[in-house]
Structures are given as structure tokens and as C-alpha cells.
Amino acid sequence: MAVCIAVIAKENYPLYIRSTPTEDELKFHYMVHTSLDVVDEKISAMGKALVDQRELYLGLLYPTEDYKVYGYVTNSKVKFVMVVDSSNTALRDNEIRSMFRKLHNSYTDVMCNPFYNPGDRIQSR
Amino acid sequence: MEVAAGGGCGAGPPLLLSESEQQCYSELFARCAGAASGSPGPGPPEATRVAPGTATAAAGPVADLFRASQLPPETLHQITELCGAKRVGYFGPTQFYVALKLIAAAQSGLPVRTESIKCELPLPRFVMSKSDAEIRFGNPAELHGKKVQIPYLTTEKNSLKRMDDEDKQQETPSPTMSPLASPPSSPPHYQRVSLSHGYSKLRSGTEQMQPASYETRQPIGQPEGSSSEGPGSKPLRRQASLIRSFSVERELQDNSINYPDEPWRITEEQREYYVNQFRSLQPDPNSFISGSVAKNFFTKSKLSIPELSYIWELSDADCDGALTLPEFCAAFHLIVARKNGYPLPEGLPPTLQPEYLQAAFPKSKWECAIFDSYSESMPANQQPCDLNRMEKTSVKDMADFPVPTQDATTGDDKQALKSTVTEPLPKDLSEDTATSKDYNSLKARPRSRSYSSTSIEETMKRGEDPPTPPPRPQKTHSRASSLDLNKVFQPSVPATNSGLLPPPPALPPRPCQTQSEPVTEADLHPQLNRAPSQAAESSPAKKDAPHAQPPSKPIRRKFRTENQTTESQEPAAAVGGAASAAVVKPHPTVQKQSSKQKKAIQTAIRKNKEANAVLARLNSELQQQLKEVHQERIALENQLEQLRPVTVL
């Protein structure tokens, strides 16, 4: 189960970040922040091809002993970062992908709302 | 349901309310809450402690209400104490309901005790001396101070509702009536009008209402509240001007289906009102309102942005960034309810679901036409498959013959508009392109984001509606005139970033020079559409107006070239890369043009032009963004290149 999900804007500030409250949230925030470097590295590595061809799902960014961090970036350079607990049997890649897909869909739903200014914090119910 | 909604307010004795009681109480509560102030969460400052979204009844109206129950003051004090209001310092929904129940108990002669309310009680009776509608359940309304006569007001809603649910209404007639607007002195703008009577306000508020139709529906069954409706209308009328047609209506009755969430049902009058508002924003009832237009419109309701955002989330069921008519009505209704003090629901109530609303729509006259044309357009609709995002443009007003071409055109427009409607969206356009058209899942939100499909579907369903508005003067050829229009708009396109569709009614008479053509031209125009020719072939095939063909051909050519020029001018032809080549190339199919159809065509043409203009604007903005993004990319790649040699070394 994902313990932390973050939506990072293009300029690398968080639009939405939510962790399971059991753990120290600051730790997750820090992990997400550090993972941004990895995300950028992956983006640039693939940057040769045109954006459209670039895979959106970045995969495992880096593992720690407790957690794994997965990344996903949209075409508008909005990044989704997910921290997953390693204790349970590792979630399959497909599941992570589907989670990201749902996240992306929700994000576009938010975008659709004309009352939402891009770059604002996202309020989630 | 209100009890649940207001549950956050705090503890009170557990309440078991019957259906009618719930309705009555919630209505009363909303009234008291709304009467205090027009905004949600009103009441004394301590009310701010209440969770946002739950209204509290201000002491003033509540006191009035209690006094109206004609109980001795000491009893009222007792009740207030018992219900817990004194304890918590404000009248939350729970306290209010408990208080009402205690009042009912007292009126029945039971001692005022907590235990009294555990049993089944008749509803409390209140006699209002003011224009407040009397909240009398099961009791014919008594006229109040203001006698306004807007007979149709009450009758209309009442008759409609009553007819539907005569049996049900017995218990809850008063709720609908009661919340008639308080006297004009009360809060200026959002009167608490019972939803069923809301239309009275509507009427006053919007001059668009056609009183005639309402008048015809005279008191079909004088339901209890009818008289009370009358009084409300006058003050409403006065205030109507203040309120920009945001009448406050609360729906408390079932229409045809017995849904438990009464306040979320839209009455006939309300629907008419909403439809008229929709028309003011977008003349074609079949097409959509773009997000920005809707945003400006709803912002006028003076609700906070987060609330509006939440309402949008609820009502835009297919999440396409645009509101179809049922979605618009749902959103409008939610706003009205919110203004009345109802907390916003967690999810879209079943009565506000677009399917439900759409099913209910056939009542309106234009619906019929829509359905008629829709059936015709159905086959043709398959063509504009490529539409990616549905845009709210236009409409296929054409009936019958032009249907196929119209569809294509419209679909193209729609798609173009939609795709460019919101700024952030273009970033995700790739996703859009990937979406498949899922024509059948109107409500489905296929995760592949087939926005266009759902919208198109809906639009198609609405069909081509023969233009309902009165005959428009302009006889503008679709493409040729659009060309002119484009020229007119384009200089302003980069400048205007409002994203608003040019107000349709205000569109000046097109400089339609070229068009003084025979009908065929008009016919052609709708079909001429910016994008690359479209599948219209099929439409021509469908159309049969052989006689019209020869003459129209040469004209078509001419327009086609114009069209293409236009298209080249507007990179929007790409329209969001929308694939749709939905453009229907005119094969002059023109067919049987009756003047009525011509009007329809002209309306469609107009709308298409507007859509074109908006799309052109959007397109230019997108191009700009694209350039910027490209530059950034180039810069980054340069940096990377610079770094590379270093690492290699």
C-alpha cells in the first residue's frame, strides 16, 4: 500500500502531498523531495525523443530498506511520486502503473475544473 | 437527510424523524439559516465553530419561528434549553430539529421533555404572520401578509408537483410552500423561496420566463401552499433585479420518482429557468457551455471559489471541462441550494444526475425537436469519430438532411473547443488524442479520457435542434461568413484571453456578403468547417437534394476555397490536433430547405463561427505555449550536451 503520494508541479513545488498519518510525514516529504532529482535525471535521460514518445511511467526511482519510491511524469512535467512500503510483497509493476494511471486521471479531472488555477494547491476530499 | 448533513453540529438526543418531518425540518432550518444571511454558514459568530458546510440557524429567525408556534414563552425557553442550543450557543441542525420536535410535542399537549420526542408526533405547526409562508403541514396555507398574485407561481410548481405525486404531497405540501421568500426586507438577495415556488423568483429575476406558459398552468390542484406562493412572488420580484437570476429555490417535492433527497430535485419551473439561463450563455440548448464561460457565470453567484470548484466537480460528471444542459442545471441547482444554506452533498444526488435530468427533460418543447433531429443525426454521428475533445460548440441545428454534415461540423467544433478550453489541458492533449471515442458511454468516464465521445454523444443525442430562438436576421453562409468573422475576430483573438465565447445574442449581423444565396448556401456553410474535409461524404450521400446539387456545386467550390483559406489562417484548423477531420465537405447536399431549416442552419452557422473564433484564439495561445516549451526543451538539451562531454572525460 502506498504510504505517501505527492503531486509535484513543473517547477518542482508540491501541489498535493498526502501521507498515511501513521508515520512521520516529514520523512516522506523529504524522500519525495530527494526523489525529484532522480526523476529529473530520468526525464533528461529520455529527453532525446520527443516528449510524446517518452514513457510516462518512470518506474522505481530508488529503493530504501523500508520503502520504494516510484515516479511518473506527465507531459506537462507534472510529476507524481509514490512511496510504497516494502514490507508487503512488492506490488507488481502493473499495479503501480494502474495506481499512477488513476492518479493521472484524477489530476486531469482537477484540471478540468475551470475554477482551478493551474499551480494552485489541490484540495482533495 | 438534513439531520445527517447537519450532524456535525453536535450532540443532541438521538432523533428519529419521519420522512415528512425531515423534509419539514430541513426546510425550516434552511430557511432560518438562510434568512439570517445569504451566505452559507451564517449565524452568530460562534457558528464558525461549526464545521464548514453546515449551516446554523440564526437566533433571530429561529426565535420568530418559535414564536410562530404559538406556544407560551416559558415553554419555548424550556424547549430551547432542552434542545441544547443554550448549551452549545447556537442552533445547529441537530438542535433545531430537536427543538422542532419538542414544539410539536408541546403543541400536541405532551410535556416538554426529552422523552416526548421519542415517539411519533405530528408535525409542528407554525403560524407566520409575515410573508413567511406558513409552515403548516397538512394544512392549507394561509395567506400571509403579502399577497402577491402570481397565481401561476404557485400553481405551476404545485400543479406540476402535485400532479405527479398527489399522494406524496399530502404531507409535505407546506414545506415547499413555506419557504416563500420572507418579506422584501429580508436579506436582499437570496430569498428563501421554496423550491417549488422558486420560479416565482425566477420569473421576476429573469425576464426570460415566458409567463404565458406558466399562466396557462393555472391552479390545477390548489395544493396547500399555493396561496403562500403568491405572497412570495411580489417581494421576490422586487428583489429579482438584485439577484441576477440566482433565485433561491429549494426543491422539496418529488417529481415523478420518490427520491429521498427532496431538496435536490429540480422542479419544472426551476428547470425552465435554468434552461433559459443556459440559453443566455449558449443559444443552442444542445451544446455545451465551456468551462470559462460557466466559471464567469457561476462566479456571479458570489459563492466562494472552493465551493464553486466543488460544485463543478459534482456536476461535471463526464469531467470534460464543459457543461451540458443537464450538467448545467445540476450545477445551477447546487448553487441555488448552497445559497439557501443547504450543505453541499458528498456526491451528486440521484435527482441531479445528468441521466435523470435528461430523461426528465423531454418535457420541454425543444427537447422534442431535439429528439427528432437526434434520431436523424444518429447515423451521421458516427463519422466525426475523430473528435477528441468535445467542444461545446455547436450545435447541430440542422434538422434532417443537413444532419450528417452538421454533425461532423459540430463535432469538429466541439472537439476543437473542448480541447482548447482550459489552459492546462493542452498539456495533456496527448492523452486526449489517445482517447477513444466511446460513444455509448455517456456517463462512463473511460479512463482513456474519451471526452469527446461523451460530449459528442450527448450532443448527438440532443440532436439537431431546429433553432428555437426567433428568426435571426443574419443569413450568413457558413464558411464564407465564417471567414469574415474570423477576420473580425482574429485581430482580437490574441488580445482577448477571456476565453469567453462572444455572447451569442450580441453577435452583430454578420457581414454576410456572399451570402445571399439560395438555401443551398446556407446548407453548405454549416458543412464547411475548418478542418480538413470530413467525412461529410457520408452526409452528402445521405442528403438528397439532387436538384440543389448542381447549383450548389460551384458555390461550394468557392466556399471551399474560402474555407481552406480560412483554415490555413487558423492554425486552429488543427484544432487541438484534433483529429477530427470532422469537417464535412460540402457536397451540397442541400436538400429540402424550408425556411425553418434555413434558420436552423443559420443558427448553426453562427455558432460554428463563434466556436471557430474561440478555437482560433485558443489555438494561438497553445501555439505560444508550445513554442515556450520547445525553447525550454532546447535549452535543457543544450545543457545536457554541454555536460556530456564533461562526464565522458
pLDDT single digits (tens) B11-30: 444 556 677 777 877 787 77
- Which residues of chain B neighbour A124 with C-beta distances below 8 Å? none
Q: What is the pLDDT of residue B263?
A: 63
Amino acid in the structure at residue A61: L
Q: What is the pLDDT of residue B631?
A: 94
pLDDT reading at A69 higher than 80: yes
For residue A1, what is its C-alpha cell? 500500500
User: 3-class DSSP state for residue A56?
Assistant: coil
Which residue, A73, A103, A79, A77, is CA-closest to A2? Answer: A103
Mutating which of B289, B290, B310, B427 best tests the A interface, going by the most A Cβ atoms within 10 A?
Answer: B427
Predicted confidence band at B220 (pLDDT cuts at 50, 70, 90)? very low
The shortest C-alpha distance from B275 to chain A (Å) reads 21
A interface with B, Cβ–Cβ < 8 A, is: 44, 47-48, 51-52, 74-76, 78, 101-102, 104-105, 108-109, 111-116, 118, 123, 125
Strands B533-534 and B583-584 turn out to be parallel
For residue B51, what is its C-alpha cell? 464545521
Alpha-helix residue ranges (DSSP H) falling in B37-132: 59-68, 73-83, 85-88, 93-107
B321 touches chain A (CB under 8 A): yes
Which range, B253-257, B280-284, B433-437, has the best average confidence (pLDDT)? B280-284
Distance CA B396, CA B584 (A): 13
- Cα dihedral sign for B308, B313, B314, B315? positive
Q: What is the mean pLDDT of residues B193-221?
A: 41
pLDDT reading at B452 higher than 70: no
Q: Calculate the average pLDDT of chain B.
A: 56
Distance CA B313, CA B295 (A): 12
For residue B403, what is its C-alpha cell? 444532419
Distance CA B173, CA B222 (A): 10
User: 3-class DSSP state for residue B249?
Assistant: strand
The answer to whether A96 and B292 are in contact (CB under 8 A) is no
The answer to whether B282 and B227 are in contact (CB under 8 A) is no
Which residue from B minimizes the CA distance to A113?
B321
The answer to whether B143 and B228 are in contact (CB under 8 A) is yes
By residue count, chain A amounts to 125
Q: What is the pLDDT of residue B431?
A: 42
SS percent in chain B: helix, strand, coil, step 5: 60, 0, 40
Which residue, B380, B382, B358, is CA-closest to B370? Answer: B358
Pick B454 or B28 by higher pLDDT.
B28
Q: DSSP states of B388-446 as a string?
A: -S--S-------STTHHHHHHHHHHHHHHHHHHHSSSGGGGHHHHHHPPP-TT-SS---
The shortest C-alpha distance from B428 to chain A (Å) reads 6
Interchain proximity A113–B449, CB inside 8 Å = no
Q: What is the pLDDT of residue A78?
A: 83
- Which residues of chain B neighbour A114 with C-beta distances below 8 Å? 290-292, 294-295, 312, 321, 421-422
Interchain proximity B309–A116, CB inside 8 Å = yes
Pick B4 or A8 by higher pLDDT.
A8
Which residue, B101, B253, B238, is CA-closest to B177? Answer: B253
Interchain proximity A112–B292, CB inside 8 Å = no
Contacts of A53 (CB under 8 A, 6+ apart): none
B319 touches chain A (CB under 8 A): yes
Per-residue pLDDT reduced to its tens digit, A19-46: 776 667 788 888 888 888 888 887 777 6
Q: DSSP states of B582-596 as a string?
A: -EEPP--------HH
B316 touches chain A (CB under 8 A): yes
Distance CA B410, CA B580 (A): 10
B447 touches chain A (CB under 8 A): yes
The answer to whether B191 and B201 are in contact (CB under 8 A) is yes
For residue B18, what is its C-alpha cell? 419521519
Per-residue pLDDT reduced to its tens digit, B78-117: 777 776 655 666 667 777 777 777 777 777 776 666 666 6
Interchain proximity B305–A51, CB inside 8 Å = no
pLDDT reading at B149 higher than 50: no
Distance CA B160, CA B137 (A): 19
pLDDT reading at B461 higher than 50: no
Q: What is the pLDDT of residue B330?
A: 81
Which residue from B minimizes the CA distance to A54?
B430
Nearest to A44 among B316, B428, B640 (CB): B640
Phi/psi at B584 (5° precision): -95, 120
Residues 265-294 of B with CB under 8 A from A: 290-292, 294
Predicted confidence band at B636 (pLDDT cuts at 50, 70, 90)? very high
Predicted confidence band at A77 (pLDDT cuts at 50, 70, 90)? confident
Say which residue the cell 459534482 belongs to: B314
Interchain proximity B305–A115, CB inside 8 Å = yes
Q: What is the pLDDT of residue B66?
A: 74
For residue B453, what is its C-alpha cell? 465521445
- Which residues of chain B neighbour A120 with C-beta distances below 8 Å? none
Amino acid in the structure at residue B347: G
Which range, B219-228, B248-257, B502-511, has the best average confidence (pLDDT)? B502-511
Mutating which of B431, B454, B631 best tests the A interface, going by the most A Cβ atoms within 10 A?
Answer: B431
Predicted confidence band at A99 (pLDDT cuts at 50, 70, 90)? confident
Q: What is the pLDDT of residue B308?
A: 80
Helix (H) or strand (E) holding A14: strand A14-19
User: 3-class DSSP state for residue A15?
Assistant: strand
The shortest C-alpha distance from B57 to chain A (Å) reads 26
Which residue, B585, B233, B242, B573, is CA-closest to B405? Answer: B585
The shortest C-alpha distance from A92 to chain B (Å) reads 20
Q: What is the pLDDT of residue B279?
A: 80
Which residue, B122, B121, B142, is CA-closest to B132? Answer: B142
Say which residue the cell 504510504 belongs to: A3
Q: What is the pLDDT of residue B342?
A: 74
Question: Does the predicted model carry a pTM greater than 0.95?
Answer: no
Interchain proximity B447–A101, CB inside 8 Å = yes
Which residue from A minimizes the CA distance to B427?
A76
Q: What is the mean pLDDT of residues B479-488?
A: 48
**ipTM of the complex as predicted:** 0.72
The shortest C-alpha distance from B532 to chain A (Å) reads 24
Which residue from B minimizes the CA distance to A78?
B427
The shortest C-alpha distance from B247 to chain A (Å) reads 22
Q: Measured between alpha carbons, how far apart are the two ends of chain A, in Å?
A: 19
Which residue, B412, B368, B364, B367, is CA-closest to B386? Answer: B412
What is the separation of C-alpha B189 from the centre of its chain, rounded to a whole number of angstroms?
20
For residue B455, what is its C-alpha cell? 460530449
pLDDT reading at B364 higher than 50: no
Q: What is the mean pLDDT of residues B344-365?
A: 65
Pick A113 or B374 by higher pLDDT.
A113
For residue B449, what is its C-alpha cell? 479520457
Distance CA B288, CA B392 (A): 4
Distance CA B413, CA B395 (A): 9
The answer to whether B368 and B362 are in contact (CB under 8 A) is yes
Distance CA B405, CA B540 (A): 7
Distance CA B604, CA B609 (A): 8
Angle, helices B595-648/B478-495, rounded to nearest 10 degrees: 40
**Within 10 A of B367 (CB to CB), how many other CB atoms are there?**
21
Q: What is the mean pLDDT of residues B26-51?
A: 53
Per-residue pLDDT reduced to its tens digit, B562-588: 444 444 444 444 444 444 444 444 444
Nearest to A75 among B422, B427, B445 (CB): B427
Interchain proximity B449–A108, CB inside 8 Å = yes
pLDDT reading at A48 higher than 50: yes
Interchain proximity A105–B449, CB inside 8 Å = yes
Contacts of B199 (CB under 8 A, 6+ apart): B153, B156, B157, B209, B214, B247, B249, B267, B268, B269, B270, B272, B273
B449 touches chain A (CB under 8 A): yes
The shortest C-alpha distance from A114 to chain B (Å) reads 5
Amino acid in the structure at residue B236: L
Interchain proximity A123–B294, CB inside 8 Å = no
User: 3-class DSSP state for residue B145?
Assistant: coil
Q: What is the pLDDT of residue A123?
A: 60
Torsion angle, CA of B33/B36/B42/B43, rounded to 10 degrees?
Answer: -90
The answer to whether B474 and B602 are in contact (CB under 8 A) is yes
Q: What is the pLDDT of residue B608?
A: 93
Q: What is the pLDDT of residue B272?
A: 83
Q: What is the pLDDT of residue B376?
A: 46
- Which residues of chain A neighbour B640 with C-beta distances below 8 Å? 44, 47
Q: What is the mean pLDDT of residues B226-243?
A: 44
Which residue from B minimizes the CA distance to A102?
B447
The shortest C-alpha distance from A45 to chain B (Å) reads 9
Q: What is the mean pLDDT of residues B189-200?
A: 41
Per-residue pLDDT reduced to its tens digit, B588-611: 445 566 888 999 999 999 999 999
**Within 10 A of B541 (CB to CB), how many other CB atoms are there?**
12
- Which residues of chain A neighbour B427 with C-beta distances below 8 Å? 74-76, 78
Amino acid in the structure at residue B506: A
The shortest C-alpha distance from A101 to chain B (Å) reads 8
Per-residue pLDDT reduced to its tens digit, B160-180: 444 444 444 444 444 444 444
The shortest C-alpha distance from B255 to chain A (Å) reads 30
Nearest to A114 among B294, B429, B637 (CB): B294
Say which residue the cell 447536399 belongs to: B589
Nearest to B319 among A51, A78, A112 (CB): A112
Torsion angle, CA of B236/B240/B246/B251, rounded to 10 degrees?
Answer: 20
For residue B50, what is its C-alpha cell? 461549526
The shortest C-alpha distance from B308 to chain A (Å) reads 7
- Burial grade of B255 (CB within 10 A; 0-12, 13-18, 19 or more): buried
The answer to whether B350 and B323 are in contact (CB under 8 A) is no
Distance CA B289, CA B297 (A): 10
What is the separation of C-alpha B627 from the centre of its chain, rounded to a whole number of angstroms?
36
| Choice among B285-294, B435-444, B563-572 with the minimum mean pLDDT | B435-444
Which residue, B364, B421, B373, is CA-closest to B395? Answer: B373
Interchain proximity A115–B637, CB inside 8 Å = no
**% of chain B beyond a pLDDT of 70:** 29
- Which residues of chain B neighbour A78 with C-beta distances below 8 Å? 427
**% of chain B beyond a pLDDT of 90:** 6
The answer to whether B46 and B353 are in contact (CB under 8 A) is no
Interchain proximity A47–B425, CB inside 8 Å = no
User: 3-class DSSP state for residue A73?
Assistant: strand
**% of chain A beyond a pLDDT of 90:** 0
B428 touches chain A (CB under 8 A): yes
Distance CA B440, CA B456 (A): 10
- Which residues of chain A neighbour B52 with C-beta distances below 8 Å? none
Which residue, B178, B206, B371, is CA-closest to B274? Answer: B206
Which range, A52-61, A103-112, B412-421, B574-583, has the best average confidence (pLDDT)? A103-112
Angle, helices B403-421/B365-381, rounded to nearest 10 degrees: 90
Instruction: Give the number of beta-carbon pairs within 8 Å between A and B.
Output: 73
Distance CA B410, CA B404 (A): 10
